[in-house]
Structure 1
């Protein structure tokens, strides 16, 4: 499967976001509670959809059933400006009943449909073993090396852009009063 540099760059950030939500400082699984809290903060998070989509996409974790793997794999090969309309993906993606209200709020935003496409792509990669990182719990340096090994030299600019977006998103979160992630 051919994954575009855009999705390749966001994949590890999305996985890291989910890992951050998974457990508390004592190692207890608190993902469900944290996702519920994030979903309640949707109006605030909408501001970050374009800048840091991976940070917002977690609110739709486990919110899609994928009916057409071929269409999803094609989607993952596209650049962000080539994404199909969200409505055209209705045959490939079935939202969970709890996600319908969130999706309607998101679709009202100027980049809402684009963001939903990104969120669905990230979630599809997360659940598809062939696209998931081999070792999610690797030290960060090893994960970066694996990601770089997957990329060809032409993708360096996209990687730089993704890191800039991630840093800008982190800076914005700090400005909003959140602690910076290590």
Structure 2
């Protein structure tokens, strides 16, 4: 996905804003309570709509239903000036019932219509980032499982059913024996017909 400079910059501050709202100084998750506070403060934040849209957009966090993700995908590459009107997205995005009164508040401002489009795109990008993170965590767990299975099958191929000889089917000396590698080398050389050095 190619982001416009506008959304690339704005997404970084929006994510930071949401992360900041998530937990208190003790690390407790208080996102729901903080989002309620944001919604209550929304009329006071209206003057920041154009200069710091992320401050208001966080009040709409989890407030959009995406009916046509491809339409949102296309918007992520647009700069602010070329964003469409909110009503043109009626078939692509719907507001959650609790977010509808908030939308009416922002639409009292001239920039409110465009702001809703910005907020919807930011939320779309945030959900995409969260699902990618969840997918990469699952992939990492899956890779670990595959590595363990590979090790087990390699052990079986080498006749090491108990896994006692490690990954490459040989004794790695971890069984507690005091095995002198130098002595083993001298034994092997003696077997090959070389004189043993004492």
* TM-score of the pair, normalised by structure 1: 0.70
- Provide closer, same or farther for how the CA distance between residues 22 and 130 of structure 1 changes in structure 2, counting only shifts above 3 A: closer
Alignment length, in residue pairs?
Answer: 134
Q: Is the 8 A contact 1:23 1:31 kept in 2?
A: yes
Aligned to 1:110: 110
Query: 3-state DSSP class of the match of 1:126?
Result: helix
The equivalences for 1:94-173 within 5 A come to 94-129=94-129
CA distance in 2, matches of 1:38, 1:94: 20
Cα separation, 2, equivalents of 1:90 and 1:71: 11
Q: Is the 1:38–1:59 Cα contact (8 Å) retained in structure 2?
A: yes
1:101-158 deviations in whole A, cap 9, x for unaligned?
Answer: 0001111101001111111010000001399789xxxxxxxxxxxxxxxxxxxxxxxx
Aligned counterparts of 1:15 and 1:2: Cα–Cα separation in 2: 18
Does the aligned pair in 2 maintain the 1:21–1:35 contact within 8 Å? Answer: yes
Alignment gaps of 5+ in structure 2: 135-198
Question: After the TM superposition, which segments of 4 or more aligned residues of structure 1 sit over 3 Å from their partners?
Answer: 129-134
The answer for the alignment partner of 2:21 in structure 1 is: 21
Deviations 1:76-96 (A, max 9, x none): 111111111100001110100
Normalised TM-score (structure 2): 0.65
Contact 1:17–1:55 (Cα < 8 Å) also in 2: yes
Contact 1:125–1:131 (8 Å) recurs in 2: no
Give the CA RMSD over aligned residues: 1.8
Aligned partner of 1:42 in structure 2 is: 42
SS of equivalent to 2:78:
coil
Give the number of the structure whose alpha-carbon radius of gyration is greater.
2
- Whole-angstrom distance in 2 between the partners of 1:28 and 1:38: 18
